[in-house]
Structure 1
Amino acid sequence: MLLASQEWGHTLVEVPYRKYDIPTFDTLIQRRTLLTLGAGLALGGCGAAVPGLRWWAIGALGENAPELLPAFRTATGVAVEVQALPWTGAHEKLLTGFAGNSLPDVMMLNSAWLPELTLIGAVAPPAARSSLLADHVAGAVASVEVAGRAMAVPWTADSWVQFYRRDLLAAAGYAAPPLVWSEWMQMARAIKRRQPDRFATLHLLDWPEPLFAFAAQQGVPFLRDHATRGNFSSDGFRTALGFYKGIFDERLAPVTTGAEAGDTYVAWRHGRFAILPSNATSIGDLRRRTTLLPHDLWDVALTPGPRGAGAAMARGTSLAVSHAARDPAAAWALIRYLCDPAIQRRVYDITGDLPTRRSAWRMPEMRTNPVSATFATQIAHSVAPPAVPEWERIVAEVQLVAEHMVRGDYGVEAATVEMDKRVDRILEKRRWLAERGRAA
């Protein structure tokens, strides 16, 4: 059933969920792993009955989480009640859950939330040398560290890449998007010349990821003075902001936000733009919409940089045990089970979310798939955001100023000054604590 049919934005179309040919769990996970989980719980509980667990999972992973759990219950006798949360509102629900003492035993998190949840004492960290922190791709463990200590276990890895229409680029004389900024702009202009009423790319003004990807390539920190002040007036960030602004100045992307938009994939299918910067969510979305966008119509490429393929901001989810978990041993057993490489691979099969375990990436299906291989390269070159509780507020304010800049309210120089002013205001309490030696 069609829920919306505007030109731009995230998917707003309800489509039937098609089951994919997924191997049974018995073919995916080693029997030894299940025996270890069951034995560990039996020893930990001295034979006592193990209570059920509550797990809050988010987005498409939350909707499909029950498919992952039957073998865990068989091995351990532990029932898991899953509550699926939408990404919009999940952060607030976690905070209100802490305030109301109603957090679940296990939480799936956007790893960027960990500094805040650590500050309020909502999570119980894994042991410092836990085997759960081994075998991860570069940067995954750093993404869950706060003040040098891992506060959760990485679960899915992500970054932004370019999804592009093969046919639209070929018509402009390109087999794939160039990976150098100057050459990428030449390609975008060529696409625009062929179809003046259409666009080369889609950078919705409430998507901060493209701007922060360009900025991550500059090698300049986003915050300075021990993360107590903004560093957005730096030469590096100004360079990235200038490139971002140029895309809109030349009308290579529409000046619009997601709130003003509709279905991204329908617009992409209709050729309203050639390149869709996005993350691994689009893998699952496009699998489910092959009748709209057959796989031979699109491909993926790395994020362009000033001198070649560049960095992007590291993204991903993690699994954490609540500070109030009723049975911590059972909660950690569930996390160990969910982080098994075969389970991470199965998550990819179901939703498109990518693994953090290196052993999962070594599986032939992951290694030889060109889409996942491109993501693997981009993830390996991703930059972790500053581990401060205020980071999400900072991103929102910076992107808001960038939107005003695109709409003509600021030039690049004035925009960076305004960004630093707003960020410094957000970090005022952190500075006050740092001056007294009390900031984390």
Structure 2
Amino acid sequence: QQIPWSAAHEKLLTAYVGDATPDVAQMGNTWIPEFKAVGSLEPLDPFLMRSTIRQSDYFPGIWATNVVDNTVYGVPWYVDTRVMFYRTDLVPKPPRTWTEWVAEMQHVKDLRPNNYAILLPTNEYEQVEILAIGNGATLLNPSGTEGAFHDPHFVQALQFYVDMFRRGYAPVLSNTQVANVYQGFAQGDFAMYITGPWNVGEFRKRLPPTMNGRWMTTPMPAPRADLYPGTSMAGGASLIIFRDSKKKDAAWKLIEFLSEPAQQIRFYELTQDLPAHRDAWKVPAVANDPPLAAFRVQLEHVAPLPRVPEYEQIATDVAEDQEAVVRGRMTIEQMVADLDAKANRTLEKRRWVLARATSR
């Protein structure tokens, strides 16, 4: 059954509650901890032990999104992450470090004082979290039971993010206040934009012909040169088997078939979703597409967000608080304390459950 992505999460959850789950489903890899927590997913380790699917054929950070409590619950189906799209005529040398990044943003401002260097929609949590994980922040403590936003690695990344607004490099706009990203990029309203692989096709389709050859992608800059490329988020979707399936062996055969490089390539041709299997990236249509090269490099340097079911709520809190800081309604110190307090409340039940399990 084909359903819109925006409705998929609710549809799958409703199917589980109503005892009407399919045998196999495509699932956003950030949803896996939640569905595992309610006991709806079939562990896949027994299948993998006798399968042609090998962990080594996949990007480590992407594979990790499918592992919860040392058990595999999904096989990567397609992947995405975030890299930087930039105007090659305004940013002649893509930055590799945060220091170079600041220099390039200042260069753009010197060239075009009335425009901006980068677009960072204030209500999107992804940019802050990419900077944070790239700087070594864990966001939660090792057991996933408390917030770790007071960690200096997170604070330093947040400060770098906020400074981009305070120095006038980024406009204080949410994504609902940006009328047309593609028009703004073409007009030079901003020269850099952190976004995902879906925008490769959108840029080609929506930018005017005069922009041909004037934009490219590059991996995320790192805090220091020895850490390049910087770490980005591990995104995409995975194939899972629901625990209530009566046809688990057949379901696994379907997953094995869809995981073959040839099928991954066919899926890419149909949807432009990036293949999860490394071998599929060797096909000329993918390997020889210049804007995809940065994604291929970046995918070797991605990390999952905390694998607890409550994290999507915590990420929403990050977005709300970061916007308050950028708009001057909250200080960085207040944001860090508020995020830790909110995360600790959100994770209260998790702490209780783990404490009970430990005491048995």
Q: Secondary structure at the match of 2:76?
A: strand
The amino acid across from 1:131 in the alignment is: T
Following superposition of structure 1 onto structure 2, how do residues 340-351 of structure 1 map, counting pairs within 5 Å? 340-351=260-271
Matches of 1:431 and 1:119 in 2, distance apart?
14
Q: Post-superposition shift, 1:146?
A: 1.0
Q: Post-superposition shift, 1:326?
A: 5.2
Give 1:142's aligned residue: 64
Q: 1:84 to 1:244 in 2, by over 3 A?
A: same
Give 1:362's aligned residue: 282
Q: Is 1:122 equivalent to 2:40 in the alignment?
A: yes
Q: Secondary structure at the match of 1:163?
A: strand
Q: Percent identity?
A: 34
Give 2:244's aligned residue: 324
The amino acid across from 1:84 in the alignment is: I
Give 1:410's aligned residue: 330
Give the number of aligned pairs: 352
Matches of 2:110 and 2:211 in 1, distance apart?
26
Give 1:83's aligned residue: 2
Matches of 1:250 and 1:152 in 2, distance apart?
43
Matches of 2:272 and 2:15 in 1, distance apart?
29
Q: Post-superposition shift, 1:290?
A: 5.8
Q: Post-superposition shift, 1:350?
A: 3.4
After TM superposition, the score normalised by the length of structure 1 is: 0.75
Matches of 2:82 and 2:304 in 1, distance apart?
13
Give 2:88's aligned residue: 166
The amino acid across from 1:123 in the alignment is: L
Is the 1:286–1:293 Cα contact (8 Å) retained in structure 2? Answer: no
Unaligned runs of 5+ in 1: 1-81, 170-174
Is the 2:62–2:302 Cα contact (8 Å) retained in structure 1? Answer: no
Q: Is 1:275 equivalent to 2:275 in the alignment?
A: no
Q: Post-superposition shift, 1:154?
A: 0.7
Deviations 1:259-289 (A, max 9, x none): 3333211221222111111111112323433
Give 1:35's aligned residue: none
Deviations 1:46-79 (A, max 9, x none): xxxxxxxxxxxxxxxxxxxxxxxxxxxxxxxxxx
Q: Is 1:132 equivalent to 2:50 in the alignment?
A: no
Unaligned runs of 5+ in 2: none
After TM superposition, the score normalised by the length of structure 2 is: 0.91
Q: Post-superposition shift, 1:207?
A: 1.7
Is the 1:341–1:359 Cα contact (8 Å) retained in structure 2? Answer: yes
Matches of 1:248 and 1:93 in 2, distance apart?
39
The amino acid across from 2:171 in the alignment is: P
Give 1:197's aligned residue: 114
Matches of 2:257 and 2:3 in 1, distance apart?
19
Is the 1:283–1:352 Cα contact (8 Å) retained in structure 2? Answer: no
The amino acid across from 1:166 in the alignment is: T
Q: Post-superposition shift, 1:158?
A: 1.8
Q: Post-superposition shift, 1:377?
A: 1.1
Q: Secondary structure at the match of 2:233?
A: coil
Q: Secondary structure at the match of 2:53?
A: helix
Deviations 1:274-314 (A, max 9, x none): 11111111123234336567541210011112113311121
Matches of 1:91 and 1:346 in 2, distance apart?
25
Is the 2:182–2:207 Cα contact (8 Å) retained in structure 1? Answer: no
Deviations 1:236-264 (A, max 9, x none): 00000000000111121111212333321
What RMSD, in angstroms, separates the aligned Cα atoms of the two structures?
2.1
Q: Secondary structure at the match of 1:84?
A: coil
Give 1:212's aligned residue: 129
